[in-house]
């Protein structure tokens, strides 16, 4: 996607927000951080981005602009074991990965950093209903600052790097070997984008809780590399419980992933669960923490690590700058099954009602 088109999209979204009705902002700080899973292999697929169960009032609009950088270093444990116990380190990084474990063992390796831009427009369209359009632009490349940060952080606290030190800091390499094919994406950068459309409707709303259903569909806009060319669909149920000193937010979603020929995966339906807490600090600031558990969309590949669910933690802080604007800063970190999700990522965002 060209920079001019991205800039035009931002201008359009901000213009629409400027002419929208002034919306209530009493519960605005109770929203979770909109940080989505950005594991390199699945970044082009539909992922649940946490949002509040509350819908906007009719005529009200919200515009979100977020940018982020997420690093991934993941591989089959067979590769890690072989490289730690005498496998050849000669040749290029691709040679090390391909020769570490001989066929027919099915393995994968993925190293790179994903830089993302998300433009979101949400509008209340009727009683207890709002609609949302999100343009997600992702750029996968070897240019990385998170990679170096992770290595220094692990070194400072004596944490293991699991053969990360055997590969260059700025590397973009994805390798998948199955019984049917061998996929290699290396030494390049890939730009792809998708449009995610959704509609949410409140089912139950009381003074202290809200139950909302949301339907989503993701449509590829531009594709390259191993990005999926198929649409994905999802159905999510969100529940929010408001307490005196904070808010609990949870959700359950079923997502149907289309076949991704570039990855060699078949169509599949999988579940995603989220649970989080939003804690107000002051009248203009709040902290949030959320756990996301996702069944793998890659489980049709016969690779052990890619058939396990992923567990990730995201957190962040919101600061209301004016009655109509907010700044957001968040991060995401894996907490279990480290070989099937992103290592670490940062996100900065701006929100306008």
Distances 269 to 114, 127, 294, 297, 298 between C-alpha atoms, Å: 25, 31, 11, 8, 11
Cβ-count burial 334-344 (b if 16+ within 10 Å, e if not): beebebbbbbb
- 168-209 pLDDT, tens digit per residue, is 877 889 999 988 888 888 867 889 999 999 999 999 999 999
| CA distance linking residue 12 with residue 43, whole number of Å | 25
Give the three-class secondary structure for 29.
helix
Tell me the chain's radius of gyration from C-alpha atoms: 21
- 289-347 pLDDT, tens digit per residue, is 999 999 888 888 889 888 889 999 999 999 999 999 999 999 998 887 778 888 888 99
Query: Do 288 and 277 form a contact (C-beta atoms < 8 A)?
Result: yes
Residues 6+ apart with CB under 8 A from 92: none
Of the chain, the percentage scoring pLDDT greater than 90 comes to 53
pLDDT at 11 over 50: no
Question: For the ranges 64-68, 107-111, 166-170, 196-200, which has the lowest average pLDDT?
Answer: 166-170
CATH code for the structural domain at 3-352: 2.40.160.40
Q: Where would I find the H helices in the chain?
A: 3-18, 77-84, 93-100, 146-156
| CA distance linking residue 232 with residue 197, whole number of Å | 11
Q: Indicate the pLDDT class of residue 160, thresholds 50, 70 and 90.
A: low
Domain boundaries, the chain: 3-352
Residue 17 phi/psi, 5-degree rounding, is: -65, -35
Q: Indicate the pLDDT class of residue 157, thresholds 50, 70 and 90.
A: low
């Amino acid at each position: 996607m060209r920079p001019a088109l991205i800039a035009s999209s931002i201008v359009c979204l901000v213009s629409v927000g400027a002419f929208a009705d002034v919306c209530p902002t009493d519960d605005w700080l109770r929203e979770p951080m909109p940080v989505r899973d950005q594991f390199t292999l699945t970044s082009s697929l539909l992922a649940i981005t946490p949002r509040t169960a509350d819908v906007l009032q009719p005529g009200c609009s919200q515009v979100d602009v977020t940018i982020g950088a997420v690093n991934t270093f993941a591989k089959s444990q067979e590769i890690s074991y072989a490289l730690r116990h005498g496998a050849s380190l000669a040749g290029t990084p691709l040679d090390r990965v391909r020769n570490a474990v001989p066929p027919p063992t099915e393995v994968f390796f993925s190293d790179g950093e994903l830089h993302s831009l998300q433009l979101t427009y949400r509008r209340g369209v009727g009683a207890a209903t709002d609609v949302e359009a999100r343009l997600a632009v992702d750029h996968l490349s070897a240019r990385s600052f998170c990679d170096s940060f992770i290595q220094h952080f692990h070194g400072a606290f004596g944490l293991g790097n699991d053969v990360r030190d055997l590969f260059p800091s700025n590397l973009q390499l994805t390798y998948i070997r199955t019984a049917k094919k061998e996929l290699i994406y290396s030494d390049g950068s890939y730009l792809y984008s998708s449009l995610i459309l959704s509609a949410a409707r409140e089912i139950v709303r009381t003074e202290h809780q809200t139950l909302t259903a949301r339907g989503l569909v993701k449509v590829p806009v531009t594709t390259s590399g191993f990005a999926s060319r198929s649409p994905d669909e999802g159905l999510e149920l969100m529940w929010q419980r408001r307490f005196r000193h904070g808010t609990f937010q949870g959700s359950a979603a079923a997502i149907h992933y289309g076949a991704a020929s570039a990855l060699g995966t078949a169509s599949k339906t999988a579940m995603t669960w989220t649970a989080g807490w939003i804690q107000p600090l002051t009248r203009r600031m709040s902290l949030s923490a959320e756990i996301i558990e996702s069944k793998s969309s890659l489980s049709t590949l016969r690779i052990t690590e890619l058939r396990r669910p992923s567990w990730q933690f995201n957190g962040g802080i919101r600061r209301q700058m004016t009655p109509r604007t907010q700044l957001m800063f968040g991060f995401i970190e894996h907490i279990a099954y480290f070989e099937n999700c992103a290592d670490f990522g940062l996100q900065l965002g701006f929100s306008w009602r």
